[in-house]
């Protein structure tokens, strides 16, 4: 029916309250699925489930970036796609949504979605889960420098150095796409950029993004009951296997010898082959590849700790709250938002040197009362990141952007 995306409809089972209209409100949701799926796909699923829990019917529009044509005009469509504009206007006219939720535009959807929502007058929430609005690489350090070229001049330096895909042309397309997105919503009072952390908000504000249009709303989990606090001595790392995630150096420097805990790596990505070869030579490191979300949660539940070794300004780190939600403390890199997100739910990892890894492991595995550490992790999660709290903030945000 639509050339630009597939549509999945999920109707809510929640009966409307007596003081609201008889028909359930409707959310039209968009997400361009990454070539290497990761946390953003789970975030999209969670946001849909959350909207349904507060009484919304969700209509999910998705497309796979892996299907994008590599022909010359594909770059122009990533900046602005007439086909997406037509399809978006058609589905808005057909579905008549109360709210539009945009999870990821790049590169399949472009700014066309936002233009369609603005023309139709539909309040819109746009998730900010990386730094693509600022730099072609989408990855920044905490000081605002690009992780690829080390510059804060995101046009001349990032484009010249080909920070996206090692290509100047692709980097230019990425930069122009982000500019089109920002210009398409400039001055629009019924649009909000939804950042997952204060650090993310700080790094994207300015540069055609008005600070009063950026709100902070963290990721969340659906675990609502205090777990049983038990574990073995194994440690798990759940991550996309890309350079900025730090997994390669974590595996390379993982402690060996008698008494050293085992490490299981769950994830896939460009560095899978290199990490797999490295782990094959180590007695206590295993790489399991892509693992379903349900299995990830169960593995986290029975692990002594999880490790998030990110070496960039991690906008949030979803696996950290998933770990704490089942009472598993987090060993977290101190870059990015992780220190604020984890807090008393874990312990810092100051570098990926072997000595630093050993010290962090010892603070958890050699603690006098490991159950107290696990309880602290869960209670921190319960105080900030449950779906109940997220539902309240979502209602407030929808009311704000709709007024």
pLDDT of the residue at 71: 66
pLDDT at 370 over 60: yes
pLDDT tens, residue by residue, 57-85: 999 999 998 877 666 667 888 999 999 99
Largest CA distance in the chain: 65
pLDDT at 128 over 60: yes
Per-residue burial over 114-134, b = 16 or more CB atoms within 10 Å of its CB, e = otherwise? bbbbbeeebbbbbbbbbbbbb
Antiparallel, parallel or unpaired: β 214-216 and 191-195: parallel
pLDDT at 20 over 80: no
pLDDT tens, residue by residue, 274-299: 999 999 999 999 999 999 999 999 99
Mean pLDDT for the chain?
A: 92
pLDDT at 18 over 60: no
Indicate the pLDDT class of residue 399, thresholds 50, 70 and 90.
very high
pLDDT of the residue at 11: 61
Burial of 258 (0-12, 13-18, 19+ CB in 10 A): exposed
Average pLDDT over residues 18-32: 77
pLDDT tens, residue by residue, 207-219: 789 889 999 999 9
Instruction: Supply angle C-alpha 302, 241, 311, rounded to 5.
Output: 90
Sequence-ordered list of residues with C-beta below 8 angstroms from that of 17, at least 6 positions apart, any chain: 55
Query: What values do phi and psi take at 371, rounded to 5?
Result: -65, -30
Rounded to the nearest angstrom, the gap between the alpha carbon of residue 240 and the centroid of all alpha carbons in its chain is 11
pLDDT at 341 over 90: yes
Q: Left if phi > 0, otherwise alpha if psi is -120 to 50, otherwise beta: which for 239?
A: beta
pLDDT at 257 over 70: yes
Antiparallel, parallel or unpaired: β 26-33 and 99-104: parallel
pLDDT at 19 over 70: no
pLDDT of the residue at 22: 43
pLDDT at 1 over 80: no
Tokens of 88: 């978006």
pLDDT tens, residue by residue, 179-189: 999 999 999 99
pLDDT of the residue at 394: 97
């Amino acid at each position: 029916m639509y050339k630009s995306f597939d549509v999945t409809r999920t109707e809510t089972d929640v009966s409307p309250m007596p003081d609201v209209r008889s028909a359930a409100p409707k959310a039209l949701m968009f997400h361009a699925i990454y070539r290497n799926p990761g946390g953003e796909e789970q975030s999209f699923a969670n946001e849909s489930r959350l909207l349904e829990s507060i009484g919304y019917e969700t209509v999910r529009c998705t497309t796979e970036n892996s299907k994008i044509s590599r022909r010359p005009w594909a770059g122009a469509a990533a900046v602005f796609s007439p086909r997406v504009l037509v399809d978006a206007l058609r589905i808005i006219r057909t579905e008549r949504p109360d709210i539009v939720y945009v999870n990821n535009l790049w590169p399949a959807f472009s700014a066309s979605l936002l233009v369609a929502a603005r023309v139709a007058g539909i309040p819109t929430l746009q998730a900010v889960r990386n730094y693509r609005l600022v730099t072609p690489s989408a990855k920044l350090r905490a000081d605002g420098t690009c992780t690829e070229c080390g510059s804060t001049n995101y046009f001349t330096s990032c484009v010249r150095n080909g920070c996206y895909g090692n290509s100047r042309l692709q980097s230019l397309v990425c930069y122009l796409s982000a500019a089109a997105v920002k210009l398409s919503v400039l001055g629009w009072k019924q649009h909000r950029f939804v950042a997952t952390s204060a650090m993310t908000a700080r790094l994207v504000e300015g540069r055609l993004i008005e600070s009063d249009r950026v709100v902070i709303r963290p990721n969340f989990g659906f675990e609502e009951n205090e777990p049983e606090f038990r574990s073995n001595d194994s440690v798990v790392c759940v991550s996309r296997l890309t350079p900025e995630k730090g997994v390669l150096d974590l595996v390379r420097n993982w402690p060996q010898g008698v008494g050293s805990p085992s490490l299981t790596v769950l994830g896939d990505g460009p560095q899978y082959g290199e990490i797999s070869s490295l782990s094959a030579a180590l007695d206590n490191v295993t790489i399991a590849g892509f693992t379903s979300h349900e299995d990830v949660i169960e593995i986290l539940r029975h692990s002594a700790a999880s490790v998030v070794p990110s070496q960039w300004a991690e906008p949030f780190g979803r696996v950290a709250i998933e770990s704490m939600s089942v009472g598993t403390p987090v060993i977290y890199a101190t870059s990015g938002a992780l220190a604020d997100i984890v807090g008393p739910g874990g312990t810092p990892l100051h570098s990926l040197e072997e000595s630093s890894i050993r010290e962090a492991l010892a603070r958890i595995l050699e603690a006098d009362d490991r159950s107290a550490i696990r309880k602290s992790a869960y209670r921190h999660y319960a105080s900030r990141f449950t779906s109940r709290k997220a539902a309240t903030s979502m209602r407030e945000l929808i009311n704000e952007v709709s007024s």
